[in-house]
């Protein structure tokens, strides 16, 4: 089936993609990655087939952009002066250390954690998205969570340390 008009496609997926990018690259870079994601999608759009999983398709692109973005950023750190003065306005109250810790994770673990816990995807979906097996997706999410716990235990106290039983 041919895909819907791009205007309708954006309208349907913009919030999910934005939420995902907010969690993976942070409020300052979410806009840029959002633009790159949908421009890449628009370029490829005439050849895409609507197999009922355009959401998976756009999230695959967003994931790739978020990972590339993380890599590029490590290569050339952005000086503080270059940060846009107006953030997107998202208050991650009391949780900013969590997001800093999430963004400090290696790209695959970060993507797995966010897909699983922020936009609630199954490991099978995450595996398809990250181009790895379901087991690898689970392992990445598990390892990501383990690192988050280790990073956050000193700041957040032991109440935040969860048991393995919580890891679905």
Partner 1 sequence: MNDTLATLGRLDVDAASRRAADQLVRRAAAAGLIDIAVATVDTPMGALLVAGTREGLVRVAFPEEHPDVVLQELADAVSPRILRDRRRLDRTLRELDEYFDGRRRRFTTRIDWQLIPAGFSRRVLEETARIPYGSVSTYGEVANRAGSRRAARAAGNALHDNPVPVVVPCHRVVPSSGGIGQYGGSEWRKEYLLSLEGWLAR
Q: Which residues bind partner 1 (CB under 8 A)?
A: 2-11, 14-15, 17-19, 22-23, 30-31, 34-35, 38-39, 42-43, 45-46, 88-90, 92, 95, 98-99, 102, 113, 117-120, 145, 148-149, 152, 156, 160, 162, 166
- Three-state secondary-structure class, residue 113: helix
Q: What are phi and psi of 142, to 5 degrees?
A: -65, -50
Minimum CB separation from partner 1 for residue 98, in Å?
Answer: 5
Minimum CB separation from partner 1 for residue 32, in Å?
Answer: 9
CA–CA distance, 116 with 130 (Å, rounded to integer) = 12
Minimum CB separation from partner 1 for residue 73, in Å?
Answer: 19
Q: Which is nearer to partner 1, 50 or 68 (CB)?
A: 50
What token pair was written down for 147? 């690192």
Minimum CB separation from partner 1 for residue 124, in Å?
Answer: 19
Q: Which is nearer to partner 1, 47 or 77 (CB)?
A: 47
Q: H-type helices in 1-133, by residue range?
A: 6-25, 27-44, 54-75, 96-104, 107-117, 123-130
Nearest to 64 by CA among 52, 53, 56: 56
Q: Which is nearer to partner 1, 9 or 57 (CB)?
A: 9
- Residue 71 CB contacts under 8 Å (≥ 6 apart), including other chains: 107
CA–CA distance, 36 with 119 (Å, rounded to integer) = 20
CA–CA distance, 104 with 7 (Å, rounded to integer) = 34
Q: Which is nearer to partner 1, 79 or 85 (CB)?
A: 85
Q: Which is nearer to partner 1, 100 or 131 (CB)?
A: 100
Minimum CB separation from partner 1 for residue 134, in Å?
Answer: 20
């Amino acid at each position: 089936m041919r895909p819907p008009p791009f205007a309708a496609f954006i309208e349907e997926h913009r919030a999910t993609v934005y939420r995902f990018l907010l969690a993976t690259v942070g409020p300052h870079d979410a806009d840029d990655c959002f633009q790159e994601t949908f421009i890449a999608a628009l370029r490829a759009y005439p050849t895409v087939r609507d197999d009922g999983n355009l959401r998976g398709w756009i999230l695959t692109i967003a994931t790739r952009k978020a990972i590339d973005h993380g890599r590029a950023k490590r290569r050339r750190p952005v000086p503080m002066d270059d940060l846009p003065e107006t953030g997107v306005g998202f208050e991650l109250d009391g949780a900013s250390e969590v997001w800093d810790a999430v963004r400090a994770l290696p790209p695959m673990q970060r993507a797995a954690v966010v897909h699983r816990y922020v936009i609630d995807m199954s490991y099978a979906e995450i595996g398809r998205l990250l181009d790895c097996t379901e087991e690898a997706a689970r392992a990445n999410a598990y390892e990501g969570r383990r690192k988050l716990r280790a990073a956050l235990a000193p700041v957040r106290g032991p109440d935040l340390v969860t048991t393995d039983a919580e890891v679905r």
